[in-house]
Structure 1
Amino acid sequence: MSKKNLTTEKSAKKTLRTQIENKLFSAFEDLKSIVGEKKFSRHVKKASKILAAGAKDPKPKKVKKAAKPTKAAKAAEHVS
């Protein structure tokens, strides 16, 4: 069984989550020394997950197909 090659591209939600984590880390650096490194990083990850949960991935727009001509329109073409 062969393994499939997976792309390393992250989804938009994951990149947003990492951006939020980085901003929270830089905004609350003084709390890191008070609370502790491990606990602080855990809380920042949870907060970024909650904040990123509201973001939705944009769905591709559906293209409408052209309407098929009706029987009456086809009959009018043949008559003329």
Structure 2
Amino acid sequence: MSERIQSKSKSKEKLKAGFISLSIVVATGLITLVFVLHIRKKKLRKKDEEEEMELPTIDFSIIANATDNFSEDSLLGRGGFGPVYKVVN
């Protein structure tokens, strides 16, 4: 009878060890999946931000003409990025 008890005890230990091992593998897989999805989402968000930041370019001659060659009469004020001019038609 003691062999039978030891056999059942070993079977339970093996089952318990298998369950713990499987749990660790599943948890590691889920953590890896979440990490990979987070990195992908971050890359896509960064790419979208870069696309949104594309600004139109305006030829200098058009700006100079619109501000009457940066005339003092067209000067509205000075900001953090330099002087601000109004457009003269």
- If each structure's helix is expressed as a fraction of its own residues, which one has the higher value? 2
Q: Which TM-score applies when normalising by structure 2?
A: 0.32
Question: Which protein shows a greater Rg?
Answer: 2
- If each structure's strand is expressed as a fraction of its own residues, which one has the higher value? 2
Higher relative contact order (CA 8 A, sep 6+): 1
